[in-house]
Amino acid sequence: MAVKTRTIRIMWENESSFQMDTRLDDGDWITVESIDENDYFESLWETGTKPKCLKYFASELETIGAEMKA
């Protein structure tokens, strides 16, 4: 069975933006979440961005674990 690599890239710049991307092996990068920093950043972070990124990461771990146990 071939080795798989899931890469998660997080980029941010204070007072500008946050972005989380992912790719499988050498595939194309797919944006999981992207947000520009503005007056609503703090509330958007806690209610949208952070939970979405954590949910994605947990889902990937579940997928990997299920595949490895099969």
User: pLDDT averaged over consecutive 10-residue blocks of the chain (70 residues)?
Assistant: 92 92 97 88 88 96 94
Tell me the β-bridge partners of 12.
Answer: 18
pLDDT of residue 30: 97
Tell me the β-bridge partners of 13.
Answer: 17
pLDDT of residue 39: 74
Give the angle 45-57-31 at the CA atoms, nearest 5°. 65
